[in-house]
Amino acid sequence: MIERLVIPKRPTLRDHVSDALRAAIISGELEPGVLYSAPWLSERFGVSPTPVREAMLDLVKQGLVISVPNKGFRVTEISDADLDSIAKIRMLLEPPSVRAIVGTIPESDIPGLRVQADKIVDAAKRGDLVEYVDADRQFHLMLLDYCHNPRLSQIVGDLRAQTRLFGLAALVERGELDKSAQEHHTIIDLIEQGRAEDLEQFLRKHIGHVRGIWAAGNTPDEDLGQP
């Protein structure tokens, strides 16, 4: 019996626009409660209105925006309590899962992870918040792919899509986003060194730092508690 071949899905323009819009929402560039028209968004992202409308409909299904007939789309608002809940769930899922992959990642894959981490650092230096968020998302999902658990990756991806990084712009202004970006290279260093326990603890701090960014730097890490 011949096994059915699984052909990877190639990203479409709609996919690329969805990623950019999602990152713009997460970074706070597209503000909660504000109504945005498809023509305005198409001009902002340099594409035609059709893929923008299609992409925004995808984000409607994910609960990131609300469709307003004949007017456009409004970014949904999310409370601090929701953000705290998301961070706590990520604490439960990501650190132990990434710890488990230490020693399983082929050495030949490390350069690719470094390249992705460099994209995060480069975006931080340029102050490109949309690219920063998208590169960060891809990095963490790349790590989770080594768990070979698609449901885990989907859940974490959905949680990250629901986040808000309202404090990113302030970090850029203070020149502090670079430090957060460099943490991704530290993650790779710990993986290379086989320091699984240290990696798990570092990821807990990393997620805690991100929660601080969500709250514009006003939420201390310990507020998240430890799972």
Helix 177-192 to helix 196-214 angle (10° resolution) is 160
Structure tokens at 189: 């260093």
- Residues 102 and 43: their CA atoms lie apart, in Å, by 44
Backbone angles phi, psi at 72, to 5 degrees: 150, -140
Tell me the per-residue pLDDT of 94-140, one tens digit each, with 9 for 90 and over: 999 999 999 999 999 999 999 999 999 999 999 898 899 999 999 99
Reported as a single tens digit per residue, the pLDDT across 15-28 is 889 989 998 998 88
CA angle 111, 114, 115 (to 5 degrees): 90
Read off the pTM. Answer: 0.79
Residue carrying the six token digits 């698609």:
150
